[in-house]
Chain A
Amino acid sequence: MNLLSADIEKRYPGGATIRAALDRPTDQFTVTILFGPSGCGKTTLLRCLAGLERPERGSIRYADETWLDASAGVFVPPQRRGIGFLFQDYALFPHMNVAANIAHGLHHSSRSERHRRVAEMLDMLQLAGMERRYPHQLSGGEQQRVALARAIVRRPRLLLLDEPLSALDAPTREQLRRELRRLLSAFAIPCFVVTHDRLEALALGDHLMVLDRGTVRQSGPLGEVFSRPVDAHVAQMVGIETILPARIVRVEKGLATLAIGDGSMQLVAVAPSVPDGDVLVCIRGDDVAIHTGADSGGSARNHLPARVSSIDYEGALVRVTLDCGFRLVATITRQASEELALRVGKEVIARIKATAIHLIIRSITRPAGADGLSSVDQRPGTLSPSSLASSKSRSGDT
Chain B
Amino acid sequence: MDWTAIWLTIRLAACTTVILLILGLPLAYWLASTRFRGKFLVDAAVALPIILPPSVVGFYILWATGPRSPIGRAYESITDGMLPFSFPGILVASVLFNIPFAVRPFASSFAAVNRKLVEASWCLGVSRLRTFFGVVLPLSWTGILTGLVLTFAHAVGEFGVVLMVGGSIPGVTRTISISIFDDVQSLNYAAAHQTAIVLIAFAFVALCITYALQRRVLPL
Contact = CB atoms under 8 A, between A and B. Distances in A.
Contact of B123 (A78, A95, A108): A78
Contacts of B138: 95
Interface string A114-128: 000000000000000
Contact of B114 (A77, A79, A91, A104): A91
A383 B39 CA distance: 60
A163 to B, nearest CB: 13
Contacts of B122: 51-52, 77-79
Given A52-B119, A93-B117, A104-B134, A79 B127 contact: yes
Interface in A101-140: 104-105, 107-108
A50 interface: yes
B124 A89 contact: no
Contacts of B114: 91
Given A104-B134, A107-B130, A91 B117 contact: yes
A84 interface: yes
Contacts of B139: 94-95
Interface string B122-148: 111111001000110011000000000
A87 interface: yes
A145 interface: no
Given A79-B127, A105-B124, A93 B135 contact: yes
A78 B135 CA distance: 17
Contacts, number: 54
Contacts of B123: 50, 52, 78-79, 83-85, 151
A79 B138 CA distance: 21
A57 interface: no
Contacts of A150: 120, 124
Interface residues of A, number: 24
Given A93-B135, A95-B138, A79 B125 contact: yes
B126 A107 contact: yes
Summarize B's interface: helix, strand, loop or mixed. Answer: helix
A154 interface: yes
Contacts of B134: 104
**Interface core residue of A93, A108, A150, A151 (most chain B CB under 10 Å):** A93
Q: Which of A52, A79, A108 has the most CB of B within 10 A?
A: A79
Given A94-B139, A95-B139, A107-B130, A89 B116 contact: yes
B126 A104 contact: yes
Nearest to B118: A91
B55 interface: no
B108 interface: no
Contacts of A78: 119, 122-123
A64 to B, nearest CB: 20
Question: Which of B114, B120, B139 has the most A CB atoms < 10 Å from its CB?
Answer: B120
Contact of A85 (B117, B120, B126): B120
B116 A91 contact: yes
Nearest to B138: A95
B168 interface: no
Interface string B92-132: 00000000000000000000001011011111111100100
Contacts of A51: 122
Contacts of A104: 121, 124, 126, 134
Given A91-B114, A151-B123, 7 more contacts: A50-B123, A52-B122, A85-B119, A104-B124, A107-B130, A150-B120, A154-B124
Which 5 A/B pairs are nearest by Cβ-Cβ distance? A105-B124, A85-B123, A91-B120, A91-B116, A78-B122
Interface of A: 50-52, 77-80, 82-85, 87, 89, 91, 93-95, 104-105, 107-108, 150-151, 154
13 contacts: A77-B122, A83-B123, A85-B119, A91-B117, A91-B120, A93-B135, A94-B117, A95-B138, A95-B139, A107-B126, A108-B125, A150-B120, A151-B123
